[in-house]
Amino acid sequence: METGFRLLLLTVAFLSLQGCVVRNWIHHRAEVRAERQAAKEDAARAEQDDTDAAPPRVVDPDVERRKINVPKIKSSNVEIGLDYGALSVEDFGTNQVYGITAAYHITEDFFFQGEYGRSKAGRTSFETLAGNIQLLTPDERHFTYYNLSLGYNFLPGEAFLGRGIAMPSAFYWLGGIGSTKFAGDERFTVNFGAGYRVLPSDWIAVHITVQDRVFKSDLLGVSKLTNNIEARIGTTIYF
Amino acid sequence: MSSAREYLQVFVTAPYLELHTGPGRGYPVFSVVPRDESVDVLFRRTDWFKVRTERGVEGWASQQDMQRVVLANGAPFTFPLGDRAGYTSHRWEMGMFAGDYGGATLVSGYSAFYFNSQLAAELSLGEFLGKFSNGTVGDLGLTHIIAPEWRLTPFLMIGTGFVHLTPKATLVQPAQRTEQTAYVGGGVRYYLTRRFFIRAEYKAHEVFTKRNANEQVDEWKLGFAFFF
């Protein structure tokens, strides 16, 4: 009995000791945390004091800062112009073509171009040989196209005119999609080609372009891809 | 030199500023402007600036070099660069597409004006060339970019427009017709490089016909675009 009682007392004493240790430990942790917090605050305050403290002044500056109004710098990326050339409509001979082009220069390498052109197809050799037969009415012979193309400048250089004049120039590739209206129908058209541009001044360019306009046609009985090659010379103005 | 300048004057802070004969890296350097001298900025073409030196020499300076000049008060000369930041937030964009409009081949172009980096008003015009009919479509609407800072980001569209149909017929001559349309759509855009990105999109058109039932037309297209 006594042994059991002693055991119980010992157990209680042991447990209370343990409790003290745990309590002390918790208390200690809290103290450490508070200390750290205080140190952090001190550091922050010190840093703030540093930034607030004015450096010792020798002379009071009395210089007004110049105010500059930055004018808007003009951008000149748009190019619009007219052109004239020859268009070979497959099976229908070569005829003159008039066009309008508008381009937007995106980077020094790439530009985006829209083209619109009109021409009138001639007679096929069959019509010429057979005499009085007409495959198309005069109205249907109108050949109208528009295209959206992407251009890539390559081989930049200078063109020299005599000893004193140098003009920047470049070759470019063109490729794009569009539509062609011919023989009373409109057709999806793919175009590709190349051109040469020379700039006599910053605002004017002279272009020579060769482009192939390809579309599917079943006008002469069988469905086939027709190649319509066009060569043009044009002048554009930069805006 | 007169005090009232028509052009912006900037000062060279790098050891020298190279002047090219044309607006491109392939054009040769023909002159340099030494440090602390100034140039007048005449105009800009793509990523190149036409400048005039104090001695009256005119040439082209690149965008990279112009980032290292300063204004008369020492502040840096800043201008919009055609880079990833510009892709996230810009005012204008334009592009061209090829695709499919209710089974017909579609060619179209668009232009958009951004009110902020997420919301834009968009105008698109296209032409479709089909087996049975050709036509023109035009749309005006709003586009919402979901996460403009992502390289690949989805967007949503809603708006109204028109469709003009020219049927191809051999026996009877059906009348051409113009109908009003409304659309909802969505797509993704992906930044490529410089000022370019790819755009792929789908629009579901509701065509309000004068007959008893309206028509639904699906439009799918893929294209490339640029911002400025």
Is B131 within the bounds of a domain?
yes
**B147 and B218 assigned to the same domain:** yes
Question: Would you give the DSSP letter of residue A139?
Answer: G
Question: For position B1, what pLDDT does the model report?
Answer: 44
Are B222 and B188 spatial neighbours (Cβ–Cβ below 8 Å)? no
**B203 and B99 assigned to the same domain:** yes
Question: Cα–Cα distance between B98 and B67 in angstroms, integer?
Answer: 38
> Does B125 touch chain A if contact means CB atoms closer than 8 Å?
no
The single residue listed with the structure tokens 């019509």 is A127
Is B3 within the bounds of a domain?
no
Positions of chain A with pLDDT under 70: 1-3, 12-25, 27, 46-56
Is B1 within the bounds of a domain?
no
Question: For position A40, what pLDDT does the model report?
Answer: 84
**B129 and B193 assigned to the same domain:** yes
Question: Cα–Cα distance between B217 and B183 in angstroms, integer?
Answer: 9
> In Å, how far is B170's CA from the nearest CA of chain A?
12
Q: Which of B16, B44, B79 is the last residue before a domain boundary? A: B79
Tell me the average pLDDT across B126-152: 93
Is B2 within the bounds of a domain?
no
Indicate yes or no: CB of A158 within 8 angstroms of CB of B94: no
**B96 and B151 assigned to the same domain:** yes
Indicate yes or no: CB of A168 within 8 angstroms of CB of B21: yes
Q: Which chain A positions have a beta carbon within 8 Å of B7's beta carbon?
A: 71
Question: For position A183, what pLDDT does the model report?
Answer: 87
Question: For position B177, what pLDDT does the model report?
Answer: 87
Position A159, amino acid: A
Q: With cut-offs at 50, 70 and 90, classify the pLDDT of residue B3.
A: very low
**B109 and B207 assigned to the same domain:** yes
> Does A108 touch chain B if contact means CB atoms closer than 8 Å?
yes
> Rounded to 10 degrees, what is the CA torsion of A80, A84, A90, A91?
150
Is B74 within the bounds of a domain?
yes
Q: Which chain A positions have a beta carbon within 8 Å of B8's beta carbon?
A: 70-71, 73
Is B34 within the bounds of a domain?
yes
Question: Cα–Cα distance between B225 and B203 in angstroms, integer?
Answer: 18
In angstroms, what CA-CA distances link B84 with A14, A96, A150, A161, B65? Answer: 70, 45, 21, 41, 19
Indicate yes or no: CB of B75 within 8 angstroms of CB of A187: no
> Does A223 touch chain B if contact means CB atoms closer than 8 Å?
no
Question: For position A215, what pLDDT does the model report?
Answer: 94
Indicate yes or no: CB of A179 within 8 angstroms of CB of B21: no
| Contacts for B43 with CB less than 8 Å, ≥ 6 apart | A73, A74, A75, A76, A202, B49, B50
> Does B71 touch chain A if contact means CB atoms closer than 8 Å?
yes
Question: For position A52, what pLDDT does the model report?
Answer: 60
Question: Cα–Cα distance between A10 and A1 in angstroms, integer?
Answer: 14
User: What would the two tokens of residue A129 be?
Assistant: 């040989």
**B97 and B62 assigned to the same domain:** no
**B147 and B173 assigned to the same domain:** yes
Per-residue pLDDT reduced to its tens digit, A156-204: 889 999 888 889 999 999 999 999 999 888 889 999 999 999 999 999 9
Q: What is the mean pLDDT of chain B?
A: 90
**B177 and B127 assigned to the same domain:** yes
Question: For position A220, what pLDDT does the model report?
Answer: 79
**B57 and B100 assigned to the same domain:** no
User: Residue B2 above 50 pLDDT?
Assistant: no
Question: Cα–Cα distance between B180 and B138 in angstroms, integer?
Answer: 10
Is B156 within the bounds of a domain?
yes
Q: Which of B25, B57, B79 is the last residue before a domain boundary? A: B79
Is B132 within the bounds of a domain?
yes
Per-residue pLDDT reduced to its tens digit, B65-78: 999 999 988 888 88
CATH of the domain at B15: 2.30.30.40
Please report the residues numbered 148 through 177 in chain B whose beta carbons come closer than 8 angstroms to any beta carbon of chain A: 168
Domain carrying residue B21 = 8-79
Question: For position A46, what pLDDT does the model report?
Answer: 67
Question: For position A131, what pLDDT does the model report?
Answer: 79
Question: Cα–Cα distance between B66 and B62 in angstroms, integer?
Answer: 6
Question: Cα–Cα distance between B136 and B166 in angstroms, integer?
Answer: 9
Indicate yes or no: CB of B129 within 8 angstroms of CB of A112: no
**B206 and B93 assigned to the same domain:** yes
Q: Which chain B positions have a beta carbon within 8 Å of A171's beta carbon?
A: none
Per-residue pLDDT reduced to its tens digit, B16-58: 999 999 999 889 999 999 999 999 999 999 999 999 999 999 9
Question: For position B11, what pLDDT does the model report?
Answer: 94
Question: For position A22, what pLDDT does the model report?
Answer: 59
CATH of the domain at B198: 2.40.160.20
**B33 and B94 assigned to the same domain:** no
Total count of domains within chain B: 2
Q: Which of B79, B111, B133 is the last residue before a domain boundary? A: B79
Indicate yes or no: CB of A156 within 8 angstroms of CB of B22: yes
**B105 and B185 assigned to the same domain:** yes
